[in-house]
Amino acid sequence: MTAPIFYGPIGRAVKAVADHTDTDPIGIYVSALTMWSAAISGSVKVVSEGDHRPVLVWSALVGKSSRGKGKAERAARHVVDKALGRFLATHTTSGKSSGASLIDHFWQLQEATEDTEDGRDLRAFFLEKEWSEMLIRAKGDRTGYHGNLRKGWDGDALRNGTKKDPQEVRDPSMVLHAHITPSDWELHITKGGGKKEAGGGTYNRIMPYRLASVPMQRRPKPLPEVDGDPLFHAYKWARSEPRAIALAPEADDLWWVIRRYASILTESLLPENEAIYVERTAEHTLRVAACLAASERSEIITEAMLHAAFTLVRRSVQDAVNLARGTAAKAVRQPKSEFEKVRDRIVFLGGSATTTELAPWAKVSAAMLRSMPGLLWRQEKKPGSGAPSRRFWIEGTPEPAVPDGVTILARKDTLEPVGHKQPLPTTAEPETAPAPVQSEVEPEPEPKKKASKKKPKGKPKKRTTAPQGASRPEARPKKNTPAPAPAKANPAPVSAIPDNPIRFLL
């Protein structure tokens, strides 16, 4: 499967900060793209089959508490914050767990911005870092939490009739970005009441992304400054006037392939309990592609933009299916190889280590360390110490400095004392005597010894002596006594020939 393409100014900025944080770069990219869609959603639409659709991108980062969901969100804010001005500071909210609270939030925005110079501003970025708590509280809601979420994603009007004065909000721009663990996803979305809402279409509007583990940095690095000018000018372009973004003619063939892929996926390949989470694959791809086009100040979605969007959405499809199958929470961690254990230990100890520091940790012998590919070593002798020791380091890294007074005796590649100019003489291997030739004639097997008769168990019966001249009575045959088997004759020896298949048994 093709890895997601980090496209445009957002992708370039994510690549610049990815090496300075120990979290999955896909989490940074998805978070930044979601924030960008919330910022431009009030004035940018995407044209699909003659219908103007919002460019709202909803996402969820799925990972354990140690996978860096919060770090990904902070790095994404670092990428887009300067370009978006004060948007995130003034339009970010959370904690809405009922349909009434959702509608009331947009109602307050509408009342506050109705008479401003720029007009109504109904953009809202819902950042739910503890989404599982919102899902638990929403279970008892009777004001339509999930139904209003679906309306918000579609851009439909929100109405609340529970209050004395009915509330109505048209054209809301709602974007949801959530953090959740795999176990909570399985508990609240895949199982229980989540199945009903998934069938209604709530969760296929959200693209989940499972965060993978990345190597932990020994010393945290400050995030570098990114070039925010391209995204800043793109934001001004998107907010200056209403924009309608459409597919370029060159992207029609790829768009048909994407729609066909989504149709086959949901109607033929996946069972219904998995397909309900990926039924909006084509719509997600079109919205992401429109956001990428807006980041480059383009009202045309090129084939390259559509392809980059499809690689990102296809990764979400894979993660959604795995979450539906329950493989996210039950994934088995692959054990590290012996070299990986040794490498991590050397890095932890500062770039080099001795045999006594490595062998017990990696559970390998000294001989395995000496012959392990990817490792270099030298044999050194400290003044006044006993036996010499070996110091190891990773191939391709600088050799550790030699302390004062330490004498180097040998190295891995030469295996000879340092300063020895002539190669050491090799001892000739002794000639091995030829193996004796076995005779073609096999000896006859020895005759089997006759088995000795065992005395019957129990007390011996008393013999009664008959008078002389009297004939002995005939012995009565015992009941249920099998007839004696005929004696087996010794098998004839098999002729010993070279191609005899049972020669090794003789």
What does the pLDDT look like over 344-375, one tens digit per residue?
888 888 889 999 889 988 889 999 998 898 89
Does the structure show a pLDDT above 80 at 494? no
What pLDDT, on the 0 to 100 scale, is given for residue 468? Answer: 53
Q: Strand, helix or coil at 191?
A: coil
- Tell me the pLDDT band of 239, cut-offs 50, 70 and 90: very high
User: How deeply is 488 buried, as exposed, middle or buried, from its count of CB atoms within 10 A (0-12, 13-18, 19+)?
Assistant: exposed
State which amino acid sits at residue 213. S
What pLDDT, on the 0 to 100 scale, is given for residue 450? Answer: 53
What pLDDT, on the 0 to 100 scale, is given for residue 417? Answer: 45
Does the structure show a pLDDT above 60 at 29? yes
What does the pLDDT look like over 48-90, one tens digit per residue?
888 899 999 999 999 998 788 999 999 999 999 999 999 999 9
Structure token digits, residue 416? 């000879």
Does the structure show a pLDDT above 80 at 427? no
- Tell me the pLDDT band of 141, cut-offs 50, 70 and 90: confident
Are 32 and 23 spatial neighbours (Cβ–Cβ below 8 Å)? no
Mean predicted confidence (pLDDT) in 161-170? 80
Q: What is the rounded distance in angstroms from the CA atom of residue 29 to the CA atom of residue 422?
A: 59
Mean predicted confidence (pLDDT) in 9-17? 95
Rg (CA), the chain: 40
Q: What is the rounded distance in angstroms from the CA atom of residue 204 to the CA atom of residue 274?
A: 10
> 431 or 169: whose pLDDT is higher?
169
Helices (H), 41-91: 69-84, 87-91
Structure token digits, residue 234? 């793109």
Which contiguous run of DSSP H or E holds residue 93? strand 92-93
Does the structure show a pLDDT above 90 at 177? yes
What pLDDT, on the 0 to 100 scale, is given for residue 442? Answer: 47
* 29-33, 207-211, 284-288, 440-444: segment of lowest average pLDDT: 440-444
CATH of 8-325 given 3.40.1130, 3.30.720, 3.40.1000, 3.40.50: 3.40.50
% of the chain surpassing 70 pLDDT: 78
What does the pLDDT look like over 241-264, one tens digit per residue?
999 999 999 999 999 999 999 999
What pLDDT, on the 0 to 100 scale, is given for residue 386? Answer: 78
Q: What is the rounded distance in angstroms from the CA atom of residue 464 to the CA atom of residue 257?
A: 107
What pLDDT, on the 0 to 100 scale, is given for residue 421? Answer: 39
> 165 or 323: whose pLDDT is higher?
323
CA torsion sign for 73, 78, 80, 81 is positive
- Tell me the pLDDT band of 106, cut-offs 50, 70 and 90: very high
- Domain layout of the chain by residue ranges: 8-325, 338-411
- Tell me the pLDDT band of 416, cut-offs 50, 70 and 90: very low
Threshold 0.75, pTM exceeds: no
Does the structure show a pLDDT above 50 at 388? yes
Q: What is the rounded distance in angstroms from the CA atom of residue 147 to the CA atom of residue 160?
A: 12
Average pLDDT over all residues of the chain? 83
Does the structure show a pLDDT above 60 at 206? yes
Q: Strand, helix or coil at 14?
A: helix
Does the structure show a pLDDT above 50 at 431? no
- Tell me the pLDDT band of 101, cut-offs 50, 70 and 90: very high
What pLDDT, on the 0 to 100 scale, is given for residue 424? Answer: 41
Q: What is the rounded distance in angstroms from the CA atom of residue 7 to the CA atom of residue 285?
A: 14
CA angle, 234 then 296 then 262, to 5°: 120
Closest listed residue to residue 345, CA positions, set 272, 290, 394, 416: 394
What pLDDT, on the 0 to 100 scale, is given for residue 497? Answer: 45
